[in-house]
Amino acid sequence: MLKKKSILSLLGIFSFAILGSFGPPTECPSKDAKTKVKTMLKPYKYDSAKTTRFTFKAKSQKKEIEVPLFLTEKYKLLFTVDGMPVRPSVKIYNKDISTKNRELLFNSDDHKDKTEFEYETKKWTRKVFVDIEVPAASDSLGSGCVFFIVGYE
């Protein structure tokens, strides 16, 4: 009886451990990753931030975020892909996805050695569009996120 109880307790502990390992992360990206980009933002002042979450699927995914800007200001966009188990592609365009011949302003594929990267806007820009592309991946990877922060000069 005692043996049975011990086994059941052991089972309980392992079930908890297994379920815990597949549960959603409490904070994505990690506090450390956020702190790192917050530090990198200076001397720019914080303006806004966005966490975009992805649940991995057998097919690739794309999301677009519009970032309105004010004409006379200069901005810095700082990204971290630390919360992504599969590397995404972050591209910044001058116009949205429905516009043909839009201009590619930034491509994270040019910075493959980094998990944090930045883009500085030029003055007289009204808005930019951040496209985040995630390749097809095993759903066993669960979910991840891309975090970016916008600062103004």
Partner 1 sequence: MKTSLPKFAVFLVASAFAIGISSCNSSSESEDSLAQDTTAVSMPDELTEEDSVSVILPSPLQIATLFKKSGLTYLDGLTNETSKASSYSSTNKRALNAGVYMTDLAYCVLNKQTQKAMDYVKTVRSLGAQMGMSSVFDNNSFVDRFEKNINNEDSLAYVVADLQMETDMYLEQNDMVKLSPIMFSGAWVEALYIGTKVYEANKEETINHKITEQMIILDKVISLLDKYSGSDEELASYTATLKDISAYYNSIPAVQQAKASEEQAEVKLSDEELKQLSAKIVEARKKIVNA
How far lies 35's CA from each of 80, 124, 151, in Å? 11, 30, 14
User: What distance in Å separates the CA atoms of residue 64 and residue 96, rounded to the nearest whole number?
Assistant: 8
Q: Omega before 135 cis (within 30°)?
A: no
User: Does an H or E element contain 10, and which?
Assistant: helix 2-22
The nearest distance, CB 124 to partner 1, in angstroms, is 6
Q: Which amino acid is at 112?
A: K
DSSP letters, 125-139, are --EEEEEEEE----G
Residue 64's nearest CA partner among 102, 34, 8 is 102
The nearest distance, CB 17 to partner 1, in angstroms, is 7
User: What distance in Å separates the CA atoms of residue 25 and residue 115, rounded to the nearest whole number?
Assistant: 19
The nearest distance, CB 129 to partner 1, in angstroms, is 9
Point out which residues bind partner 1 (CB under 8 A).
3-4, 7, 10-11, 14-15, 17-18, 21-22, 27, 34, 38, 45-52, 59-68, 70-73, 81, 84-87, 89, 96-97, 109, 112-113, 115, 124, 126, 133, 135-136, 140-141, 149-150, 152
The nearest distance, CB 45 to partner 1, in angstroms, is 4
The nearest distance, CB 121 to partner 1, in angstroms, is 13
Helix (H, G, I), strand (E, B) or coil at 70: coil
Q: 36 or 38: whose CB is closer to partner 1?
A: 38
